[in-house]
Structure 1
Amino acid sequence: MISKLNLENILFLDIETVPETEYFSELDHTKQELWEHKSKYQRREDFTAEAFYDRAGIWAEFGKIICISVGYVKMEADVRTFRVSSFSGNEIKILKDFKNLIITHFSQTKHLLCAHNGKEFDFPYIARRMIIHNIELPHKLNLFGKKPWEVPHLDTLELWKFGDYKTYTSLKLLTNVLGIPSPKDDIDGSEVYRVYYKEKELDRIIAYCEKDTIAVAQIFLRLRGDTLLHDNEIMSV
């Protein structure tokens, strides 16, 4: 029962990703061929691999992480705060800093990671990018040999499914139906490529990522039947 979990033991998170290079032409010939093959079944016939390249950030083999935002609940004398911060910029530094956070503060058995669609996207994406960069996986992301009930991950999408595997519910839709303020008040995921490469406004992406992290925590609180976070409880650190 999620109502029995200690909120202070949960690290909520969200990631933002983009294609590894701005232009398809910047990939070497082999990588271009691999992308053409990988994307063949996702794009319409009238889309070339190059025209579809702005979607490449979805796949860890062709993308990179530009921001990881994290948030956690802190209780002090019955005063609740939600502290949110971000790692951004160089991907290797992002991954190492995130790993250090987990090892330093969220490495015990009782600690859990939580994201929306995290089991299908955020957690494996982070793990794959760490391996690509020869960064040893922290225990919380190393799932080799673990049984399903030993995996230290929570997924608000999975919790919302209640065993139904036929549907996908976006973060924006779920916040809407649960009466939670929408985090999508500036950009959405489809615009991250443009904002990062064309407009070079990383700060907007960080703000967007942090709002999504807060939304994940709000959904989790709502599913538990807890009071939602108020603006004065949210701190940027």
Structure 2
Amino acid sequence: MLKKILLDKILFLDIETVPEFRDYEEMDEEKKELWAHKSRYQRKDDLSPEEFYESAGIWAEFGRIICISVGYFVLKGDTRNFRVTTFHGTEVKILKKFKQLLAQHFSGPQHLLCAHNGKEFDFPYIARRMIIHNIPLPYKLDLFGKKPWEVPHLDTMELWKFGDYKHYTSLKLLANIFGIPSPKEDIDGSMVRDVFYEDGDLERIITYCELDVVTLAQVFLRLRNDELLDDEEIRRV
């Protein structure tokens, strides 16, 4: 069935998130109480809400998006290119630029969004942050009233599950078992908060995010039994 999907109708994406505030103390007292309640089941080893706050970026209610990287195929005859770009700046700017991209180039009935673990993280996180900022949801993220088969989302982790609801596999592991060359990443997801707030190195995070988008596309190609992308086919725009 994946072979029936047109490659140039898919928008591959990945997001990077951080806690909304640099430090726990920047939250008001009501927000601190809400954070303690929200995180109570995730905190281990008797961590206090303050000590656990560095992980707040995984929740849309307590985090924010610092970049969205996207990639898409451009097919012309026998020529295949994969173009990658990133939206960054204020969160409102990121979300509006992303919405504009969807409206102008990926709004048709055949267009799909693809992410790894996207149905659990990327897609709902973007939608929630849009609502928080009073940005009307684009059609591709507004799932109200849609039947499961009408949801325009692909999730490479879900595709790999084959119906196994308890099976989690990272993008990095899939790349390894599929023989996809591992990108030369100098950070991982657990380091994004520190690289952003302590080092102030957004460009380093963007590079990491874009490499994940390329890996995502490579994994999708392997799931279709297609040839992997060569370096010459990948372009940053």
TM-score (norm 2): 0.99
> Matched residues in 2 for 1:142 and 1:101: separation?
16
The count of aligned residue pairs is 237
Unaligned runs of 5+ in 1: none
Per the alignment, in what secondary structure is the counterpart of residue 86 of structure 2? strand
CA drift of 1:46 comes to 2.2
Question: Is 1:55 matched with 2:65?
Answer: no
- 2:163 aligns with 163
Aligned partner of 2:157: which letter? Answer: L
Aligned partner of 1:142: which letter? Answer: D
> Matched residues in 1 for 2:124 and 2:149: separation?
17
Unaligned runs of 5+ in 2: none
> Matched residues in 1 for 2:213 and 2:132: separation?
25
Aligned partner of 2:110: which letter? Answer: K
TM-score (norm 1): 0.99
- 1:196 aligns with 196
> Matched residues in 1 for 2:160 and 2:87: separation?
28
Q: Structure 2 matches for 1:41-80, cutoff 5 A?
A: 41-80=41-80
Aligned partner of 2:147: which letter? Answer: K
Q: Structure 2 matches for 1:75-154, cutoff 5 A?
A: 75-154=75-154
> Matched residues in 2 for 1:184 and 1:31: separation?
38
> Matched residues in 1 for 2:193 and 2:139: separation?
31
CA drift of 1:183 comes to 3.5
CA drift of 1:184 comes to 6.0
After superposition, the C-alpha distances for 1:106-156 in whole angstroms (9 at most, x for unaligned) are: 000000000000000000000000000000000000000000000000000
User: What value does the CA root-mean-square deviation take over the aligned residues?
Assistant: 0.8
> Matched residues in 1 for 2:156 and 2:45: separation?
34
Per the alignment, in what secondary structure is the counterpart of residue 42 of structure 1? coil
CA drift of 1:45 comes to 4.1
- 1:12 aligns with 12
CA drift of 1:173 comes to 1.0
> Matched residues in 1 for 2:17 and 2:99: separation?
17
> Matched residues in 2 for 1:224 and 1:172: separation?
18
> Matched residues in 1 for 2:121 and 2:233: separation?
28
Per the alignment, in what secondary structure is the counterpart of residue 104 of structure 2? helix
Per the alignment, in what secondary structure is the counterpart of residue 141 of structure 2? coil
* Deviating 4+ runs (over 6 angstroms): none
